[in-house]
Structure 1
Amino acid sequence: MARTPAKDAESTDVVDSLSTDPVHPATGDDIEDVTGTGGRPAIVADATSGHGVVPVQTRNARFSSTDVADFPAVTGREAVWKLTPVAELQDLIDGDLDGGRYDVETTADGGASVSWVGRDDERIGTAGIPEDRAAANAWSSFEEALVVEVRGEEPSAATVRRAALGAAPRAAHTIVDAARFSKSVVVLDNAGDARLAENVEILVRDGADLTVVTVQDWDDDARHVANHFARVGRDARLKHVVVSFGGGVVRVNPSVTLAGSGADGELLGVYFADAGQHLESQVFLFHQADHTKGRVEYRGALQGEGAHTVWIGDVLIGPDATGTDSYEQNRNLVLTEGTRADSIPNLEIETGDIEGAGHASATGRFDDEQLFYLQARGIPEDQARRLVVRGFLASIVQKIGVPELQERLQEAVEAELAGEARP
């Protein structure tokens, strides 16, 4: 197994590999059973001294459970929490959550439908289960799940809009179930006030083509912690898009498993952090089956004192994922002083027979040559800067494939740059 972390650096194709079992750092002995709790490093005692700490060696080996009691208290020192303002999310991580139904606006056409189901629905838990305490708290608390079902081979669409959740801590569970050979776009649109911990399960059956867009356009003081679990079947395709513009602290973590031969996963993200905002995504793409294709691309802009973004990308190419083609990248554009962008891509490869894989990360300011080029053609500096930012983020926005949403996001970018309220 090869693990190649990188930060603020470029990495081209990676095809080297591959030791097998992890070994104890002191003794060199094989470690056959490595487990951890709550996303913390696994602790393996040295056989002679009783000491020694070995981290979980593979990304999909993290401890998981649907019971919040199985996870230790979060201190903020854990690897999965150390870049997050834990104190501002404590009620969602540890507190009592209202897991009942909530007001939701839905539209659906073609073969799409929206309904509520009980906790005994057989689909619950099939896409993935929590790996951290906040996700487990939401899972332990929800009473009913909102299900978006897609059936039939004709293109269809569904929108779920939540804009009246209120300020009380709440849990939610959503399932998006795309039947075999279906083709659909599902938009999960969030606005207003909220203190929300939720899990979203996405099932893409064999041959299906599904786009899921989650929009975080919350009020400035909203707090939102979400985990998305997706499982993509044989010759199926998932485009998953995370859009984060609003909210005080927003953490949306997608985990996508390409489980069937020929599965395709495109994970996109776009975000704009203003003063005091914390916007975070920890992305995991698991190439489990052979001849799968993965693309991860997140782009963000930051402006204002205390604007903070976190992107952690993990790609794992499993031992059976021969013929894999994978690439992940993150780009951040810093517009003012006083901002912070954490960007950490990671790549693990457990087979040497792949088409190619790589990762990249870059964070920087405006390109002076671009600004000079535009100003030399009579465009004022402030307008030139806005054009550069729009173009930088548009490469993601234009891939969403929902024209009305793309237009709305472009308007939101303009409003952010102008310091106005988002439309």
Structure 2
Amino acid sequence: MSGLPTNYLTPTGREEAWRFTPLKRLNGMHDSATSVIDRISIELVGSVRTGFNIETVSAAELPPKSTTEDVIIQRVRATASKVTHLKIDKEAIVSEPIFLKRSAGVEKEFSRTVVTAGAHSKATVVVENEGAGSIGEEIEIRLEAGANLTFISLQEWNENAIHLGRHHAIVGRDANFNSITITVGGSLVRLLPTVEYSDQGGSAELLGLYFATDGQHL
């Protein structure tokens, strides 16, 4: 267990980015005094790895390529010592979806994942989230030149789960990125899908769907 770094200001709810979020329901994830567990809870479903590979590397080996002002993501970066790296091979055409599954426990967790789509590759990546934990996560998606990637995120959390995350795509020359985010579970889910272009000719489409019942903040 480790305490969160204290060199970031804890949100008060008066900030524009946080004024619609009920901070009292974040289970302390935004508070610098909160302790979190450093572990990897996301894993590949199945054993076939044709056209891609997944590994765990140190955070120093795979630093973020993007900047962020989000305090949760800043703390994720400062806390997570390991990164899950899914790398799709250059020019690979992966015909079947690549499924990643996260089954969070009851502990508070910070997690970083990087998805790299090699040049002129084509693939679909599906991330399935379930369980009852509290998680802050960053998924950085890097599309090299001419890559075509569909990224699907499914939030099927238990009713008491807390999920705070950023899914950030960096789209290279002539690359195409499609994102679909679906949230139907959890007590509070706050996801920030964002895109930046690193070269000319890239395109992106971001779609989202949520279904909230009484008591959910999605």
1:256-307: CA deviation from partner (whole Å, max 9, x where unpaired): 002211100111111111111101xxxxxxxxxxxxxxxxxxxxxxxxxxxx
| Equivalent residue letter for 2:79 | S
CA distance in 1, matches of 2:78, 2:20: 25
In the alignment, structure 1 segments of 5+ residues that lack a partner are 1-66, 280-423
2:58 to 89, 112, 118: 118
Determine if contact 1:138/1:199 at 8 Å carries over to the other structure. Answer: yes
2:130 is aligned with 1:191: yes
**Which SS does the other structure have where 1:87 is aligned?**
helix
| Equivalent residue letter for 2:121 | S
The answer for the alignment partner of 1:135 in structure 2 is: 73
| Equivalent residue letter for 2:73 | A
Pick closer, same or farther for the CA change 1:256–1:191 going to 2, 3 Å. same
Percent identity between the two aligned chains: 29
2:98 is aligned with 1:158: yes
| Equivalent residue letter for 1:254 | P
CA distance in 1, matches of 2:55, 2:112: 12
Determine if contact 2:26/2:162 at 8 Å carries over to the other structure. Answer: yes
**Which SS does the other structure have where 1:92 is aligned?**
coil
Whose radius of gyration is greater, 1 or 2? Answer: 1
In the alignment, structure 2 segments of 5+ residues that lack a partner are none
The answer for the alignment partner of 1:204 in structure 2 is: 143
Pick closer, same or farther for the CA change 1:103–1:215 going to 2, 3 Å. closer
| Equivalent residue letter for 1:149 | K
Determine if contact 1:178/1:210 at 8 Å carries over to the other structure. Answer: yes
The answer for the alignment partner of 2:176 in structure 1 is: 237
**Which SS does the other structure have where 1:93 is aligned?**
coil
The answer for the alignment partner of 2:16 in structure 1 is: 79
Shift of 1:104: 3.0
1:273 to 206, 212, 215: 212
From the two aligned structures, give the one with the greater strand fraction.
2
Shift of 1:68: 4.8
Determine if contact 1:92/1:137 at 8 Å carries over to the other structure. Answer: no
The answer for the alignment partner of 1:99 in structure 2 is: 38
Determine if contact 1:105/1:162 at 8 Å carries over to the other structure. Answer: no
CA distance in 2, matches of 1:241, 1:191: 17
CA distance in 1, matches of 2:215, 2:93: 41
Structure 1, 235-244 or 149-158: larger mean CA deviation: 149-158
Shift of 1:105: 4.3
CA distance in 1, matches of 2:110, 2:161: 14
2:83 is aligned with 1:145: yes
| Equivalent residue letter for 2:69 | E
Shift of 1:113: 1.7
Shift of 1:109: 4.1
Determine if contact 2:92/2:120 at 8 Å carries over to the other structure. Answer: no
**Which SS does the other structure have where 2:75 is aligned?**
helix
| Equivalent residue letter for 1:96 | S
CA distance in 2, matches of 1:73, 1:88: 14
CA distance in 2, matches of 1:103, 1:190: 9
| Equivalent residue letter for 2:23 | V
RMSD (CA atoms): 1.7
1:210-249: CA deviation from partner (whole Å, max 9, x where unpaired): 1111111000110000011211000001111111110010
CA distance in 1, matches of 2:202, 2:6: 35
The answer for the alignment partner of 1:227 in structure 2 is: 166
| Equivalent residue letter for 1:104 | E
The answer for the alignment partner of 1:325 in structure 2 is: none
Shift of 1:120: 1.4
**Which SS does the other structure have where 2:19 is aligned?**
coil
CA distance in 1, matches of 2:74, 2:191: 15
Shift of 1:103: 6.1
Shift of 1:112: 1.7
CA distance in 1, matches of 2:118, 2:89: 5
1:73-123: CA deviation from partner (whole Å, max 9, x where unpaired): 2101100000001111152112221122336343354312211010111x4
CA distance in 1, matches of 2:202, 2:124: 18
The number of equivalent residue pairs is 210
**Which SS does the other structure have where 1:199 is aligned?**
strand
